[in-house]
Chains A and B, each alone.
Chain A
Amino acid sequence: MSQLSREQVREMMADVMAKQGKTLPDDDATALDTFGFRSLDFSELALKVEDEIDEELNFDAPGLRSIETIGDVLDFIGQLVEQA
């Protein structure tokens, strides 16, 4: 990740959850469905990252469907940022 650290993205992800009154678990292996992280939450996170790096992150849905854990989210965002 060139312009954003994994930890910074994690903090943004925590912000997305906090807006809904939820807490992001500490363990990256935690499954997303256990704390109610949905696809639109991923979109919101991606838009926050876009604002931060000033680049659009466009992607197809199949890649999103393979995401199951917090670590997967951070990995996928990292890949998108690198490609941006």
Chain B
Amino acid sequence: MSDVTPIPSASCVLVSGGSRGLGLAIVKTIVEHGAKVAAFARTVTPELQELADAHPDRVHVGSVDATDRRAVTSFIKEAEAKLGPIDSLVNNAAVGQDSLHVHTSPDRIEQIIETNLTAPLVLTRAVLRRIMAGPGRGRIVFITSICAQRGYAGLVAYSATKGGLDSAMRTIAREMHGRVLANSIAPGFFASEMSSVLGQTQLDAITRRTPSGRLVEPDDIIPYIDLLLFEDTNTNGQVLVVDGGGSI
């Protein structure tokens, strides 16, 4: 007979891409909840290092490329040696795209898929194995994108990877029956990433088309991270869209 008690709150969370922006905000909220967190990114920013220095017993950070399987495995071992068993994962690391499909090289398509789809699936596999070997139950969160549900020019490969993660998430929720809560958070476009590539006129147009009147900020996502990692809501196999209503 399966265990039907609620899956416990996250106590030790692995976060990929935790050095800046949304990833850093995710690391901070986990720390604020009193949980332990192991965060890696290609580069450890001063802000992330500051968190690790302030909470040496609860925060472990490292400079790891998410596509380097050996380095990721070593990081998980180091993290568990320092913090104890990992029971949760936030898959946040990703690379963006801003090129029409016909002008995106096959090599670039391959890189996007490797970073945004293969690497998180492999990382999820590793964490699920750790959960099964250790705490027995846990929580997995994928940061995907509204691009997985709506078409946006210049994001073909990126959208494919995010849609792939949403599909994988649902299957994991089913496959890990009763042991793991798996969910996705699908943000709309972040003000910061949009402003780096678009002009003010285009930004204004996108904002006008968003019913809430503003683009997404990392702080909009954090309550959903808190919900999925720490609350008992029985939410499982779902994609939570946070986009100001831009996609409706």
Contacts and interface: CB of A to CB of B under 8 A. Distances in A.
Interface of A: 39, 43, 46-47, 56-62, 65
Interface of B: 98-100, 102-105, 108, 153-154, 197-199, 202
24 contacts: A43-B100, A43-B102, A43-B103, A46-B103, A47-B102, A56-B105, A57-B103, A58-B99, A58-B103, A58-B104, A58-B105, A58-B108, A59-B103, A60-B98, A60-B99, A61-B98, A61-B99, A61-B153, A61-B154, A61-B197, A65-B197, A65-B198, A65-B199, A65-B202
Given A43-B102, A61-B153, 19 more contacts: A39-B100, A43-B100, A43-B103, A46-B103, A47-B102, A57-B103, A58-B103, A58-B104, A58-B108, A59-B103, A60-B98, A61-B98, A61-B99, A61-B154, A62-B98, A65-B197, A65-B198, A65-B199, A65-B202
Contacts of B103: 43, 46, 57-59
A62 B197 contact: yes
Residue with the highest number of chain B CB atoms closer than 10 Å, among A47, A60, A62, A65:
A60
Contacts of A58: 99, 103-105, 108
A57 to B, nearest CB: 7
A43 B202 CA distance: 21
A61 B155 CA distance: 10
B206 to A, nearest CB: 14
Contacts of A61: 98-100, 153-154, 197
Nearest to B100: A43
Contacts of B154: 61
A12 to B, nearest CB: 16
Nearest to B202: A65
A77 to B, nearest CB: 12
B122 to A, nearest CB: 27
A46 to B, nearest CB: 7
Contacts of B198: 65
Contacts of A56: 105
Nearest to B197: A62
A82 B104 CA distance: 18
A57 B198 CA distance: 22
A59 B99 contact: yes
Contacts of A57: 103
A58 B98 CA distance: 12
